[in-house]
């Protein structure tokens, strides 16, 4: 029955028939979403009975959800069910690493599994719609919401965009445990000026189309049910009133058949932006632009009826906006069965879910430094290990941002996991040293030094509390907060091997500790099972395999810094860089070259995009393309041989980059075009093949049309964006 009712033609017939029976007030009701975190008071019940609400936010209880759905179906005139929305960003009860950490796994299949368990857990509580994935390209680590992003690259972001949509929505939208996804924030939000949340974004259309829009296009192609408009303005027109985005691109170019929801009160904020004079004008702009549903605020409920009566919004336009919402509800099967039976769902945070969370956390960990191969720790050779720092035993903080439904009581912390791992074979000397990551007291530093001095190795857990990243938590200084750097320097005085494990919601500037520690593991906020994953890496049960999904600057003044930059007319190279401290007094202005770099930081980041060390070494050889010349429209294959030159079985993330040397608009120095996870035994070699077509080389030119131009291309295959063997080929016209 459900499959028949969700067939395309049948759905359209039902949408049309229902629209024909609806009053204007009932149509506007479908466009209204209200926040109801404390249950359903009488006034909301009466609104549902009157058909004045189309969706509710933050009802996280199956019994309450079922009751409100019953009222909607049985006590309203038309029996239209509700969409029940919730921010299920990186897990529900079982919390996975923050999305930026998940991206460090470079494993879309595993992330798809993580989204699936999040959907199952959320659906058991009556939720049928999540506001994820967030697929804003993010090249500014000062922006707090980079934690929710998959990083800086359109290709990688698109892969994770599709994976999360598929994980949430499954193969059949009517299946139990399926929830509608919402790709956000459309569009350009991650380019907010100076990384300040909600801020202005100015993105030339060519950059918008080549960098910021592809992940949203990929989500639409994957069948995402909804999109969310960005808070920010885009080139002077806030997204919630931006017809170019919502109508021209989304509907006309991409043929999107889902619906768009505003962000929280972002329609009434059109007036704060200065686009509109009042709420009525704001409702008019948003409806004309193509925003179907208003979240939290009430400009639609208050003013759309008058705007229709005055002829400023046509009934046809209203029907289009409402029809998109109804279509989604039919596709989700809500008209046939909107109810939730928690007994039919797996137990929350069950063994299987925790195992997936642990695997995602494990693959997200990035080894940034390992001097003298201090890692992995040899547990059979250790009599004692010091565990120091404010993030070692912080079950809430390791969950990260946007974890409304996570349970810190089930978090397995690094301290607990290390104790379990070493058992009675070694002594664990634990000192918190700082109350929080922001503390400035050195009261317990001597105790920490004493613990370090009597231990064979020191693992210091540093980073940011969860509240220091996420929405509205942008930072101008992205050093380790508080006096964590002083703690590291104090510990380094002991002369013991020091391993820094950093839990954070963004890339941090680490230049002030890299010379003070032997090894650095970047753990992001790793979620419920972060502790066991970290212990596995520390003690070599697994080799680290995570790779950075975003560039790490040396200092904040380099921001924005990203691998896919343009070459400029005066590109920097090592031979042209002289540090500020090395300039002679009164040196000639041009004495040390005239190239694009900072004289105090150079032109390179601290760690490049795609970077991550292993407990083994991988080498690359025999890179070539299947043909020196590829005709437009043809397929081709880029190949390389990868060898594990060490003595540890391990995974490598093999990455393919290309450069279009000449274009009708300037092209990046490298663009990611493929990646794969490869597991190799010691001494083992495998040939990796990337199958592409010339369409994979397309870009938007000066006239904003997608094109592939004949010309020369460079190709790299390697372990990060800065390494790899190079070859070349040409695309030729027919």
Catalytic residues, which ones?
263
CA distance 31 to 260: 10
Please state at what angle helix 414-422 crosses helix 530-538, rounded to 10 degrees. Answer: 50
How many CB atoms sit inside 10 A of residue 24's CB?
14
DSSP-derived secondary structure for 110-171? HHHHHHHHHHHHHHTTT--EE---B------TTSGGGGGS--S-HHHHHHHHHHHHHHHH-S
CA distance 667 to 724: 20
Alpha helices for 222-367 (secondary structure H): 243, 269-273, 279-289, 299-309, 315-331, 351-364
* Structure-block tokens of residue 58: 């933050």
Alpha helices for 427-548 (secondary structure H): 445-453, 484-492, 530-538
CA distances for 595 relative to 168, 219, 572, 642, angstroms: 47, 39, 5, 35
How many CB atoms sit inside 10 A of residue 223's CB?
15
The DSSP secondary-structure symbol of 342 reads: G
Residue whose structure tokens are 């070859």 = 727
Q: Say if residues 718 and 674 touch (Cβ distance below 8 Å).
A: no
CA distance 265 to 441: 41
How many residues comprise the chain?
A: 734
CA distance 351 to 271: 49
| CA 555 to centroid of chain Cα atoms | 23
Give the HSE-up count for residue 325: Cα atoms under 13 Å, Cβ half-sphere: 29
Q: Say if residues 480 and 462 touch (Cβ distance below 8 Å).
A: yes
CA distance 387 to 415: 7
Q: Say if residues 270 and 286 touch (Cβ distance below 8 Å).
A: yes
Beta-sheet pairing, 259-261 with 685-693: unpaired
Q: Say if residues 638 and 692 touch (Cβ distance below 8 Å).
A: yes
* Structure-block tokens of residue 534: 């970290």
Residues forming beta bridges with residue 730, ordered by sequence position: 629, 712
How many CB atoms sit inside 10 A of residue 697's CB?
22
User: Whose CA is closest to 466, among 487, 437, 486, 488?
Assistant: 437
Tell whether omega for the bond before 560 is within 30 degrees of 0, i.e. cis: yes
CA distances for 418 relative to 173, 293, 479, 535, 554, angstroms: 42, 48, 27, 6, 31
Residue whose structure tokens are 């930059």 = 565
Give the HSE-up count for residue 609: Cα atoms under 13 Å, Cβ half-sphere: 27
Beta-sheet pairing, 226-229 with 650-660: unpaired
- CA 135, 136, 142, 144 torsion-angle sign: negative
What is residue 549's three-state secondary structure? coil
CA distances for 370 relative to 401, 500, 530, angstroms: 29, 10, 20
How many CB atoms sit inside 10 A of residue 504's CB?
28
- For 330-349, give one letter per residue: b (16+ CB within 10 A) or e: bbbbbbeebebeeeebeebb
């Amino acid at each position: 029955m459900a499959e028949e009712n969700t067939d395309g033609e049948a759905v359209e017939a039902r949408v049309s028939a229902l629209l024909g029976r609806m009053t204007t007030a009932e149509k506007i009701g479908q466009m209204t979403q209200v926040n109801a975190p404390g249950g359903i008071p009488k006034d909301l019940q009466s609104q549902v009975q009157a058909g004045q609400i189309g969706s509710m936010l933050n009802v996280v209880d199956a019994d309450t959800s079922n009751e409100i759905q019953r009222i909607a179906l049985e006590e309203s005139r038309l029996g239209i069910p509700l969409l029940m929305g919730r921010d299920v960003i990186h897990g529900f009860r079982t919390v996975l690493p923050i999305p930026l950490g998940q991206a460090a796994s470079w494993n879309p299949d595993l992330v798809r599994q993580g989204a699936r368990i999040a959907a199952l857990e959320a659906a058991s509580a009556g939720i049928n719609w999540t506001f994820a994935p967030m697929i804003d390209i993010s090249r500014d680590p000062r922006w707090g919401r980079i934690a929710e992003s998959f990083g800086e690259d359109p290709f990688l972001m698109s892969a994770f965009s599709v994976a999360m949509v598929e994980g949430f929505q499954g193969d059949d939208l009517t299946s139990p445990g399926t929830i509608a996804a919402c790709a956000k924030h459309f569009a350009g939000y991650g380019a907010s000026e100076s990384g300040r949340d909600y801020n202005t974004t100015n993105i030339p259309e060519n950059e918008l189309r080549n960098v910021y829009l592809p992940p949203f296009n990929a989500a639409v192609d994957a069948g995402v049910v909804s999109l969310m408009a960005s808070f920010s303005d885009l080139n002077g027109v806030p997204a919630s009133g931006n017809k170019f985005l919502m109508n021209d691109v989304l509907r006309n170019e991409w043929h999107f058949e889902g619906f768009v929801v505003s962000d929280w009160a972002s329609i009434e904020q059109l007036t704060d932006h200065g686009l509109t004079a009042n709420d009525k004008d704001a409702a008019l702009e948003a409806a004309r632009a193509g925003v179907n549903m208003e979240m939290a605020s009430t400009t639609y409920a208050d003013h759309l009826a008058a705007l229709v009566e005055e002829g400023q919004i046509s009934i046809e336009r209203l029907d289009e906006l409402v029809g998109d919402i109804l279509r989604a509800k039919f596709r989700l099967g809500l008209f046939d069965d909107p109810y939730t039976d928690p007994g039919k769902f797996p137990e929350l945070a069950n063994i299987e879910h925790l195992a997936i969370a642990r695997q995602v956390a494990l693959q997200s960990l990035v080894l940034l430094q390992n001097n003298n191969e201090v890692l992995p720790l040899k547990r059979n050779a250790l009599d004692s290990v010091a565990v120091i720092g404010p993030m070692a035993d912080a079950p809430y903080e390791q969950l990260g941002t946007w974890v409304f439904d996570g349970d810190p009581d089930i978090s397995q912390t690094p301290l607990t996991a290390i104790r379990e791992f070493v058992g009675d074979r070694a002594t664990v000397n634990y000192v918190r040293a700082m109350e929080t990551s922001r503390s400035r007291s050195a009261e317990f530093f001597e105790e920490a030094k004493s613990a370090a001095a009597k231990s064979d190795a020191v693992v210091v857990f540093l980073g940011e509390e969860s509240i220091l990243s996420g929405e509205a938590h942008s930072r101008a200084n992205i050093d380790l907060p508080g006096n964590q750097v002083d703690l590291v320097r104090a510990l380094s005085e002991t002369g013991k091997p020091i391993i820094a494990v950093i839990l954070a919601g963004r890339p941090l500037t680490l230049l002030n500790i890299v010379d003070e520690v032997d090894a650095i593991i970047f753990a992001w906020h790793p979620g419920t099972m972060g502790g066991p994953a970290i212990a596995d890496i520390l003690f070599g049960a697994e080799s680290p395999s995570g790779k950075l999904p975003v560039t790490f600057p040396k200092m904040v003044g380099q921001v924005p810094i990203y691998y896919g930059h343009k070459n400029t007319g005066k590109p920097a190279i090592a031979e042209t860089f002289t540090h500020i401290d090395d300039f002679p007094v009164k040196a000639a202005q041009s004495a040390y070259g005239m190239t694009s770099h900072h004289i105090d930081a150079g032109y390179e980041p601290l760690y490049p995009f795609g970077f991550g060390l292993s407990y083994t070494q991988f080498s690359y050889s025999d890179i070539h393309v299947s043909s020196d010349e590829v005709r437009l429209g043809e397929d081709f294959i880029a190949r390389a041989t990868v060898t594990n030159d060490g003595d540890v079985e391990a995974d490598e993330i093999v990455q393919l980059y290309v450069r279009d040397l000449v274009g009708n608009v300037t092209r990046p120095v490298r663009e990611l075009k493929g990646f794969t996870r490869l597991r190799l035994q010691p001494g083992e070699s495998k040939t990796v093949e990337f199958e592409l077509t010339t369409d994979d080389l397309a870009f938007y030119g000066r006239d904003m049309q997608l094109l592939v131009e004949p010309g020369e291309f460079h190709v790299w295959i390697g372990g990060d964006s800065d390494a790899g063997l190079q070859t070349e080929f040409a695309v030729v016209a027919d």
